[in-house]
Amino acid sequence: MAAEASTTATKAPPAPDTVSLTIDGVGVSVPVGTSVIEAAQRTGVVVPRYCYHPGIPTRPAQCRVCLVEVEGRPKLEPSCTLEAQDGMVVHTASDTANDARQAVIEFLLVNHPLDCPICDAAGQCMLQDYAWVTGQLKSRLDEPKQVMGRDRVADDILYFADRCIICTRCVRFMRDVADNDSLIVAQRGHKAYIDTFPGQDLDNPFQGNIVDICPVGALVHEDFLFKARAWDMDPAQSICPGCPTGCNVTIDTKENEIVRLKPRWNPDVNSYWMCDYGRKRLVMSQRGVRSETPLVRGEADLRQARWGEALDWLADRLRALGSAGGRAIVSADSSNEDLFYLGLLLKRLGVDSTMFTVETGPTAALPGVPKLKLRADRAANGAGAEMLGARRVSRGDLNGANGGGVLIVLDDALEGADQFWGADADLFIYLGTRRPEAARSADAVLPTANFAEMDGTFANWEGRVQKFAQALAPPGAARPAWMVLSRLLARLDDTEQAVNTAETAFDRMAGEADAFQGMTWSGLGPKGAIAPGAPASAEPAGPAAPVANNGRPGS
């Protein structure tokens, strides 16, 4: 491909909207206006960068680490602001460029404390990486290093001034993407440091992103401080469950606990960012006492049972009831596969009323990325639940009387319902990650895995179906609801099969549910795909409502 591109660079007349250039001997055609650093990335060359970030529109070209040599130009040029031009010949790693880069790194290290052993960025630090690459591993400095200490730029973000290389990514993210002027560079030269503007606090619902874009360990989130080394963590590609936006995130776990969340790039959903509410929500979703063992109704009380025993018992009861009707309550935090398999069971039982409720909260918008908002709903998969035939109702309607038949609750917390709720149903099955007080009269309580503990898909506000991968092991005997329900179905119907992977469950859903018609698990890809039955966009145009409560829960 490189050779082919190279010939087009020299022979074929370029299309009017593209330019062809050669980078490190490889020809590449890029749209007009592309910077050399981005053009280089297309050829697989990653030019070192600190101040350049693809998600931040401003390019101050101040870190000087992306300097490249361009043939015919007297000096090195910063590749982040250098626009690719036709016929340009760029050397990103020539001796001149490497020497300049080494000098830049050496200057950055003049006052850098080199406290890598206790720095949370060690292992994923761009200063560490480039210092290693440039090969200047011995300091030539005799003078003592300047010590500046540490500060708190926001109530949950610490700033280690000594480690900072003043790339100003954080300042520019707040100013140019989040439209917030409270973060500034104070002082100049070697005394420069990042601070909040005098009299202002950094208090923005998207401020957590400045920690993610910090190329060194200068900005550290307090929740992650000294928690884990970069190489100790196991990453899982997941979806934030905080709101219907469905931001793509990476869940970093260590010893089966979530230690950190990082937004994952998806240009169609969240770009490079996510909100602070989502970060907190995901971590909080793992707290508390979980339901870990299947329970079935014994003589009087619930008794523990093995999965096979519980499902056999339940299948017997359901067979005896036949097509009894009733109603189902689902949670908008459940995955599409969970909801689909519940739907299959409900069809068999003659239950045609499926409802869910979603709590709402304050919204927040990121001005630089119009699609990325903290939306009002506080659940990830409301759209998916509606696409699979569930009806959205208020909490009051949900907790109303049931009136006979089967009552199946899938992971709804049943807030506000008392402990006698559900006793009027002939058979009350509670599948959930936790066991609320209101499930006390349930005939069977089946522990399920939450989204972080299984594979699956969510449909976001615009009907984009996105995959998430398992990050944690489920507690105790808890298993994904689709897995449990498919086994219950297999007991009721010989033609049904027990399902073991989310992929099988999804592909079956895509074959049978109209809203997901024609989709495939592998076809979803890393960026997700809009479902055919996606709801017509209900997103109101114009700026989002002002942020109340800073978008954080309980603060």
Partner 1 sequence: MPGKVKVVNRPESEASYVRAATKGMSITLKHMLDPRKKTQQYPDEKWELAPRHRGTHRMEVHEDGRAKCVACGLCPTVCPVNCIKLVPAEDENGERFAAVYEIDEFRCIFCGMCQEVCPVEAIHLGVHYENAEYSRERWVYDLERLCEQDHDVTALWDPADKASQ
Residue appearing with tokens 């109209």 = 514
Of the pair 5, 116, the CB lying nearest partner 1 is at 116
Of the pair 232, 437, the CB lying nearest partner 1 is at 232
- Residue pair 448/478 in contact (Cβ under 8 Å)? The answer is yes
In whole angstroms, the minimum distance from the beta carbon of 257 to partner 1 comes to 12
Coil, strand, or helix at residue 151?
strand
In whole angstroms, the minimum distance from the beta carbon of 316 to partner 1 comes to 48
What amino acid is encoded at 263 in this protein? P
In whole angstroms, the minimum distance from the beta carbon of 227 to partner 1 comes to 8
Binding site for partner 1 (CB under 8 A): 116-118, 122, 150, 225-227, 229, 231-232
Beta bridge partners of 305: none
| Residue 252, CA distances (Å) to 236, 397, 472 in order | 6, 39, 10
Of the pair 45, 127, the CB lying nearest partner 1 is at 127
Tell me the HSE value of 37 on the side-chain side, using a 13 A CA sphere. 20
Contacts of 378 (CB under 8 A, 6+ apart): 242, 243, 281, 358, 359, 360, 361
Give backbone dihedrals phi and psi of 193, rounded to 5 degrees, phi first.
-150, 165
In whole angstroms, the minimum distance from the beta carbon of 225 to partner 1 comes to 6
Contacts of 448 (CB under 8 A, 6+ apart): 291, 338, 410, 411, 431, 432, 433, 478, 479, 480, 481, 484
Of the pair 59, 227, the CB lying nearest partner 1 is at 227
Residue 445 to residue 414: CA distance in whole angstroms: 14
Give the pairing type, strands 406-410 and 326-330: parallel
Q: Report the run of H or E that residue 26 belongs to, with start and end.
A: strand 26-31
Of the pair 213, 219, the CB lying nearest partner 1 is at 219
Of the pair 227, 348, the CB lying nearest partner 1 is at 227
Residue appearing with tokens 């870990």 = 292
- Residue pair 121/165 in contact (Cβ under 8 Å)? The answer is no
Residue 550 to residue 330: CA distance in whole angstroms: 29
Beta bridge partners of 168: none
Pair of tokens at residue 527: 């960026």
Residue appearing with tokens 């109530």 = 155
Of the pair 226, 299, the CB lying nearest partner 1 is at 226
In whole angstroms, the minimum distance from the beta carbon of 158 to partner 1 comes to 9
Give the pairing type, strands 157-160 and 219-221: antiparallel
In whole angstroms, the minimum distance from the beta carbon of 233 to partner 1 comes to 11
Of the pair 257, 418, the CB lying nearest partner 1 is at 257
In whole angstroms, the minimum distance from the beta carbon of 159 to partner 1 comes to 12
Of the pair 131, 444, the CB lying nearest partner 1 is at 131
